[in-house]
Amino acid sequence: MNFLIVGLGNIGPQYIFTRHNIGFMAVDFLAKQKDLNFKTDRLASVASYKLKGHTIYLIKPTTFMNLSGKAVNYWLSYYKIEKENMLVLVDDLAIPFDTLRLKPKGSSGGHNGLKSIEGVLGGTEYPRLRMGIGSDFAKGRQADYVLSNFSEAELETIPFILDKTAEIIETFCVEGLTKTMNKYNQ
């Protein structure tokens, strides 16, 4: 059984440490742990490794956030992976910073990357790991907030969040969604 792990984010140096790119940060962190290099291929940067008989494919769409669904659809089809064996890593304003919440399905919550994926896949029935980025912004400033860099204090915590995310990804691939949710959801 193979798995597709999708980190959502935007390409370009100006976005590297923004809140919206925590999905990219998470797959980059896991790739570094496994000593992997991403190669740019069709619609995404791609890396892979083996884990207990499974092949884990990591992708970072190069389509920008609002068109993430195009990359997801292509790589699901290319690797012949079922939606339930895909995990989307996504920033979430609705949960506190440093909170991780694994879900089997759900609405986009207004997130354009998830909207794009839902539009292409025709529904919300796919696992996602919601990565809390907090909501400390003035009314009407949501876009500025998600595209802003993490604070210095938050950046000190990020490695711990990314380490826990890597654990969740591998547990999801080895033990399945339900056991992983029971183990890690707070």
Domains recognised in the chain with CATH numbers = 2-184 (3.40.50.1470)
56, amino acid identity: I
pLDDT tens digits, 124-148:
999 999 999 998 888 888 899 999 9
Residue with token string 């792990």: 5
What pLDDT is attached to residue 140?
Answer: 85
- pLDDT over 80 at 186, yes or no: no
- Number of helices and strands in the chain (H, E): 6, 7
In sequence order, which residues have a C-beta less than 8 Å from that of residue 73 and are 6 or more positions away? 120, 121
108 in Cβ contact with 116 (< 8 Å): no
39 in Cβ contact with 176 (< 8 Å): no
Q: Is 20 a catalytic residue?
A: yes
What pLDDT is attached to residue 85?
Answer: 98
What pLDDT is attached to residue 136?
Answer: 85
For 45, the enclosing helix (H) or strand (E) is strand 44-51
What pLDDT is attached to residue 138?
Answer: 84
The one catalytic residue among 4, 8, 18, 20: 20
pLDDT tens digits, 33-59:
999 999 999 999 999 999 999 999 999
Residue with token string 């597709």: 4
